[in-house]
Amino acid sequence: MKLKGQVAIVTGAGRNIGEEIAKLFAAEGAKVAVVDIDRRGGEKVAGDIVGSGAEAAFFYADVSNSADVIALVAAVIGRFGRIDILVNNVAISDNKSILEITEQEWDRVMTVTLKSQFLMAKFVGQQMIAQQSGGKIVNIGSTSGFRGRGRAVAYSAAKGAVRNLTRALAVQLAPYNIRVNQISPNKTGSPVGRAEFDPTRPITNLVKRPGQPIEAARAALFLACEDSSFVLGENIFVDGGVMAMEIP
């Protein structure tokens, strides 16, 4: 088991990529803190993990709010005693152009998609440093953070910022033996912030199918385990080859 005895926090773990990351990490021996504002979804994922014979617990938290994050870290420590891995997965999208989006919508997307990763990295990072045993942080980005889109202006901006946040965190936390990296999926499972999978959604990639959440989870596992011990500040595209393609 690649994560035996370690404690992992996975935000947005009640569905889609977050759910698969939580389940895969648990299968690899981690004790998993399943974090979500969707209590029903989060409790189900935690229950599924426990039912499989692994260890997990659900934690309700709005990770874009510092008070909730501080309380979450304390609750996870109270339950599991330490934190070794953080996966910053929470995000929402606007799906609007610059001419359509309101200031309030912009602020909400930036707060949930970007600020949450800053807050979680800050307070979990402080705990990892206090433990003096290092740690791993995996940020979930998006191909939207690397190219312009006709819609989702706030989401694209937030995910672009996540990329450089990952680099900055890697530099600043490396002295404490905390490795920070990122994966960037594309059209994997259901759309961001939605529970329903749309089989008619247009797919343009080299494998001509949507990504499966487990495929993103496997990349996150690589960055969270010792297989990637010499990898810091990097991004792995889990996109079916989209970023390798020429745009017509």
Q: What is the CATH number of the domain that holds 95?
A: 3.40.50.720
Secondary structure class of 28 (helix, strand, coil): coil
Into how many domains does the chain fold? 1
Domain assignment present for 198: yes
Annotated catalytic residues are 155
Which domain does 67 fall in, by range?
7-244
Q: Answer whether residue 197 shows pLDDT above 60.
A: no
Exposure string over 132-163, b if 16+ CB within 10 A, otherwise e: eeebbbbbbbbbbbbeeeeebbbbbbbbbbbb
Does 202 fall in a domain? Answer: yes
pLDDT greater than 90 at residue 203: no
Q: Is the pLDDT of residue 18 over 90?
A: yes
- pLDDT tens-digit profile of 145-159? 999 999 999 999 999
- Quick: pLDDT tens for 85-108: 999 999 999 999 999 999 999 999
Is residue 2 assigned to a domain? no
Asked whether residue 1 is assigned to any structural domain, the reply reads no
Distance CA 157, CA 46 (A): 32
Task: Please name which of 221, 243, 217 lies closest in space to residue 231, comparing C-alpha atoms.
Answer: 221
Q: Please state, in angstroms and as integers, the Cα–Cα distance from residue 248 to each residue in 204, 245, following that order.
A: 11, 9
Residue 197 domain-assigned?
yes
- Cβ atoms of residues 52 and 26 within 8 Å: yes
pLDDT of 80 over the 60 cut: yes
Q: Is the pLDDT of residue 194 over 60?
A: no
Q: For residue 246, what pLDDT is reported?
A: 81
How many whole angstroms separate alpha carbon 185 and alpha carbon 187? Answer: 7
**Residues making up the chain, counted from first to last:** 248
